[in-house]
Each structure stands twice: as structure tokens, then as C-alpha cells.
A and B are shown apart, each in its own frame.
Chain A
């Protein structure tokens, strides 16, 4: 197939060619960045929590006088533990994807000079780390005398387990075991490393910060009252949850059950990423509509050109061109126009990515998106032009002898 005559013909339709190429370029830029945002959201949705989500549920109680906390705690725990199917009930302040009560800033020196970031303290009673299912990959799990009694926000010292991600952030490359950190006047020592433990509100943080969690062992007390982690057989979870909430409502009728926060951890996780799902769905919708509009534009313009060149096609057929030659002519023409659009589109895609990086904290667009988008647009262009090109190929040679 000779390209020279095609280019010569396109030169006579500069404006229309430029417009279609521009449309392809814009589509390419939006396609790359929209797909990238979708990928970001989807990867956020698939975050590893480090907990046995399917086997866990949260029960949250409010609305009691702090003077009655011990009494409420005893009755609620007894009621929950009596529910058939419940494997364990542990008081813990925060729940993965659920209630958040342990967010605090830390520093790696006593004076607070070296700010270490804002992290999540999971303050839990005996058995809660095992119930969560968080794996200790180095050092040790909490031992009975690690669980300290406390008043107020959380214990002001003690031995803690921290996640790999947080250890790497605080002390890059070093062994975190035995290291210390401070939060205001409180002082903590790392005795164990957890594989993963997601913070309760991962969507509000950068991907790196989502695993910045610490497990701080504590004796159950007034501060931990009303926030419980339930463990049960995953298959039985809906029934166990129903029974558990009914049992609490009966045993402690004066408290208010926070229904929104009292759900299985899988359901809580589903709720946390609602917005991301909406955004991803909206982007998929826009990508689909845009590709459709672009394809229809190509169909419209190609049909017009075929009609306009009927006589020329007839002449070419009369002097020996085969149907295949005509078909290839229009396919090659489309390939060239789309190719031009893609070349411009790659530049636009990067420009758009720079703008998004500046205003929306999006990372840099990985390079492999570009060839994939180019291929997709080329395929789209070929599919769109196929109909008009087949119609062109069907033009009989006799057209050459008739005047239009």
C-alpha cells in the first residue's frame, strides 16, 4: 500500500483531518488518565487489611454515663459471649474500616523534634490481637504483663507491635525491634512487627500511610468500654451479628447501639470504599461514552468521504484496483489519522497528568499506559472505519463512466 497518495488526498481535507485527529488526541489524553485514576481507586479498594475480615465484626455502644461504664461493660460482654457462634469478644478502641479512636501524632525522640507522622493506635485488651488475626513476623506478640491498666485516651507507655510499613517509614533499613517512639509525653518501645494492619480510615491517607498502625496492649477499662471486636465463623456471621445486637439491646437496654458502626468488618469495608466505587463507575461511564462518540464521529466522516469520492473510487476500480485495494486505502487512511491523533494525544495525556498531579495528588502516569491506549484507539478506529470502507470497496467500476 502506497502512503504517498493517501497523504496527498488528506492534504486536500486538512481541516476535517485535523479535527478528527484532535478528537482522537483528546480521547487519548482522557482515556489514559481516567484509566489511571480507575486503577488507583481499584488498588485502594483491594488494600490488604492484615485482619481476618470475614470472621470479624464490630459492636459499638454509646449513650451511657461514664460512671456506669464498668457495669455496662460487664453486662454487654456477658451478653455477647453468650451468643451461640461467637468465638471471642475483645474490647478494642478502633476497628479496621470502622470506628477510629486512636489517631495520634508521634515522634522518634523524646523532645518531639523528629515528627514521625500521624498514626493509628489500636488499643486492645488481652486476646484482641489474636482475634484480629494480625500476623507477627518479627519479635513477639504481647505477653500477659504487657497489658497495662490506664485512664484517659490510652496507656502512656508500654511495649507495642508496629506494622512493617510504619517500621520502614520510621527507621528505614534498620531493625525496628527495641526502637522507641513518643507521642506527647507517652513513651513506647517496639517489641514486635506486624505483617499488615490497616488503619480504620484508609481512604483519607496516601497509599504509603494506610498501614501506619500500632497495636498497644491495655487492660480493659472505662475507655475501652462500648467498643468490641467479635470473632465468629464467617459463614455464620449475619446470624451471629443479628443475635449479638439483639442480645445487647436486651442486656443493656439503656445504651444506644451505633447501628452504622456495628457491622461485620466486611460490610464496614464495603462502606468505606463507596465513594471510590462511585468515582470508578462514573469514569467507566465517561470513557465508554467518549469512545462511542469518537467512533461515531469517525463513521460519520468516513461515510462522507466515501460518498464524496465515489467517482474517484470508480476510476481506480476501472483502471485495475481490486476491492481489497480500496478497502486498504480507507483503512490505511484511518490508521494514519488516528496515528497522528495518538502522537498528539500522548503529549496531552502527560500534560493532563501533570495538572492532575499538581491539583489532585495523583502519582505520575506509568509509561505503559500510552502504548495500551494507542492500541485501543487504533483498534477502535479500524472497527469504526470498517463499515464505510466496505461500502467504498463495493463501489462498481462503472461509476467512473457516469457523471455525478
Chain B
């Protein structure tokens, strides 16, 4: 029966080619626009570390004084940790792995005369970052906790930077000048490029190039290297060195926790730590302000999707809705025009269900054809998105799930559009129509 209905649908669609083309084009345009924006949203809310993200968490404390007024247009200071808090969490060593980090942009002065000085983005971190995030090494290895403690001037380079500075021979053991200081290269990582860059500060780029160097955070603080994230201070500056001040938050902190029990214990630890700090008079706000975000929870909290993209998504979906209403009207006209034909089938014994199936298949065929044209239009749309000036632009590519999603959305939309006309056509009273024939 299914094959027969397919044949009937094909004949019916062929009978009025212009109307069919119109419906396919309408649904194609709606699907294309929607899928373009859904894909953009999909890559922006992607899991940056599949397989590992479930075990990564970021603790947040609230060391702000009670009278601190947070302006809604500024960054939230509690998004980051202060140096004393980060060091306390690090020393507590309660997670499987833990690392404090901050982004930095440094000037590289290559030894080679033919390369002019240039800026690279990288990260100041503590030793666990490589094992925790699963950053793989091409050569050499990371530094140890002992290097952290002794503030050793060592650096791990990204593959791209290593090749740019030292060519194919590799830079292990060589010295590289970053900013005004020399660092010894002890390792080279494969380019590590999580998208979005969940571990970076909110005010830094969220979608961008891989970190091209890693060096010990303690050395960075020692040398007062500049960071490229937000530094929020409050109260009066008590420490001469503001990087280690208890009144300035600027550090990102991540922990790896393997089991729910461990997560629960860590959450309790954060509460206890806050309560203890409050008892000591350092924290003023209730300890329950301390939070532990999962990686995906943190990305949701940060809300990386720009309002323009959100607006464009709604616009595209609204457009798809207009297209669906349009097809609904056209299908209604098409089906009701065949009232006579439907009545004959009904009079010969076809049940309402059969008519419903027949016309439903016809709607779905429009949907599949619309999905195909929608796919083409979406590729065109994504191509135009890739030419946008934003940092997320180059990520706008369709993956398999989005490809299948396009067809699912197209068929769902056309079935939805066909539902009302099909239902209406099924209710045509056969006797009345037969009389008119």
C-alpha cells in the first residue's frame, strides 16, 4: 500500500509542477534559514571536550564585601577566583586533579632574524592542566608541581608556535624570549583548541585559536606578566602586588572529579571553606554563595551566544513558521480540489485512515524535497556566516547530526503543514461530492 501511495503522491505532485515547486521552495527557504542559525547555535554551545567534560568542574567563591554594588553592564567579579583562594583550593588537593590558570598575550622575540616580533596568546597555569584537560604532547612533557613551587622559567609551546620559531628541528631545550624574559622549552603540545574556550575568562575571546604556550602560573605572577582576562578589584589595595591581592579576582580554576560522591564532597568542601573564611572575617557573604559548576553548566551560565545570533535564530524560526502557514494554505487548496477523487475512493471502501495516510505521504514527500533544497540553502547560509567578522564565524560547519536534523525538521514541518489540510480532506462527505460529479 505504501508503494502505491508513493506513486499516487508522485503523480499528484507532477500534475501541478509550479505549485509543487513553490511549496518545495518555500519549505526549503524556511528550513535553510532555520538550519543555518540552529547550526551556528549548535557550534556555539558545543561540548568542547567530549568524553572528558562530564568530569570537569569549576568552583566559584564570593569574596565580595556586602556593600559591593555590582553593575549589570560590567563583568561579575565572582566569575574568577582571587590568588589566595585559588592557592588554598590547590593546596587542599581534594580533587583528582586541579589547576589554576589565566590567559596571557605575550610578545615573542624570535632568535631568527627573518621573523619579526609578534604577539601570541597562551596560558599561565599550574602543573595539572595537561593531564586534567587531556592536552597531548608531541615532544617532551609538562612541568611538575616542584617547578610550580620553585617558579621555574620553563614553557610548553603549541605545535604551531614551535614550528614557527624553530622549524622542523623542534625547540626542546632551546630558550625562547617571551615579553622581557627567557623561558626554556620543555615540551611541545599538539594544538589544543577546545571550542568554545571554556577555560578562558569571559572578557577574552570565546572562540579562537589554540593556546600557543603554557608556562607556570607562579612564574607569571613572579614576573608580573600581563593577563588578557578581566581583573576585578574591590576594597582598598592592601597588597603592594595586586596579582596576589585577596581583593582582586582574575584566576580561572578547574578540578577533575570522577564520581558523584567526589562531587558532593567537593561541594561540601567549598561550603566549609567559605564558612571558615567568613569566620575569619575575610568573606562577608553567606557560605552558600560558593558554587561548583559542571563544564556544560558553566558554559550555560556564561551564555556565550551573542544577542544578535539569538535574534537571528528567532527571526529564522519565525520565517519558517510563515512558510509552514503558506504551505498549509497551498496543500489545503490542493487537497480540497481533489475532493471528487477522494470521495470516489471513500465510496469504494477506503477508510478515513487510508486517505489520511495517502495525503500524509504526499505532504512528507514535499518535506523531503524541501529538506534537500533546504540543505543547499543552509550551506549557502553557512558560507555567508563564515564570512562574518565574528570570532565564531569559522566554526559554522554542519556535522552529521545537523545534516540529519535538517531532514527531520523539514519532514516534521511539512507533516505539520499537511496535518490540517489532510484532516479537512478526510472529512469531505462522499455522497455530496459524488452527486456533483
Contact = CB atoms under 8 A, between A and B. Distances in A.
Interface of A: 15-16, 19-20, 22-23, 26-27, 30, 34, 37, 62-63, 65, 118, 254, 256, 271, 274-275, 278-279, 282-283, 286, 289-290, 293-294, 296-297, 299-301, 303-305, 307-308, 356, 359-360
B329 A23 contact: yes
B77 to A, nearest CB: 15
Contact of B322 (A37, A293, A300): A293
A314 B68 CA distance: 81
A304 B322 contact: no
A16 B334 CA distance: 11
Contacts of B116: 256
A301 B318 CA distance: 22
Interface string B386-425: 0011100000000000000000000000000000100010
B302 interface: no
Contacts of B326: 23, 293-294, 296-297
B308 A279 contact: yes
Contacts of A359: 307
B389 A26 contact: no
Given A16-B329, A290-B319, A359-B307, 12 more contacts: A15-B332, A19-B328, A26-B318, A63-B119, A283-B315, A286-B319, A289-B33, A293-B30, A293-B322, A294-B322, A300-B333, A304-B334
B325 A286 contact: no
Contact of B318 (A30, A294, A307): A30
B329 A289 contact: no
Closest 4 CB pairs of A and B: A304-B333, A19-B329, A297-B326, A274-B389
Contacts of B25: 293, 296
Interface of B: 19, 22, 25-26, 29-30, 33, 73, 107, 116-119, 180, 307-308, 310-312, 315-316, 318-319, 321-323, 325-326, 328-330, 332-334, 336-337, 388-390, 420, 424
Contacts of A308: 337
Given A23-B325, A300-B329, A300-B330, A293 B118 contact: no
Nearest to A278: B388
A249 B420 CA distance: 70
Contacts of A23: 322, 325-326, 329
B329 A20 contact: yes
Contacts of B312: 279, 282
Contacts of A62: 107, 119
Given A23-B326, A293-B322, A304-B334, A65 B389 contact: no
B315 A63 contact: no
A63 B179 CA distance: 8
A30 to B, nearest CB: 5
A296 B22 contact: yes
Contacts of B308: 275, 279
9 contacts: A16-B329, A19-B325, A26-B322, A30-B319, A30-B322, A62-B107, A275-B308, A275-B389, A290-B319
B191 to A, nearest CB: 23
Contacts of B19: 300, 303
A30 B315 CA distance: 8
A338 B73 CA distance: 43
Contacts of A289: 29, 33, 319
Q: Which of B307, B315, B333, B337 counts the most chain A CB atoms within 10 A?
A: B333
A15 B322 contact: no
A290 to B, nearest CB: 6
Contacts of B388: 274-275, 278
Contacts of A303: 19
Contact of B22 (A26, A65, A290, A300): A300
B329 A293 contact: no
A284 to B, nearest CB: 12
A256 B119 contact: yes
Nearest to B69: A115
Nearest to A352: B318
A146 to B, nearest CB: 30
Nearest to A308: B337
Nearest to A291: B322
A16 B333 contact: yes
Contacts of A294: 322, 326
A12 to B, nearest CB: 11
B26 A297 contact: yes
A63 B107 contact: yes
A293 B327 CA distance: 9
B274 to A, nearest CB: 29
A118 B116 CA distance: 38
Contacts of A286: 33, 315-316, 319
Interface-central residue, A274, A294, A297, by most chain B CB under 10 Å: A297
A202 B30 CA distance: 34
A333 to B, nearest CB: 14
Nearest to B389: A274
B33 A275 contact: no
Given A15-B424, A63-B119, A26 B321 contact: yes
A289 B316 CA distance: 11
A278 B307 contact: no
A92 B321 CA distance: 52
A304 B337 CA distance: 8
A340 to B, nearest CB: 14
B424 to A, nearest CB: 6
Nearest to B323: A293
A301 B319 contact: no
A290 B322 contact: yes
A350 to B, nearest CB: 15
Nearest to B424: A15
Contacts of A360: 307, 310-311
Contacts of B119: 62-63, 256
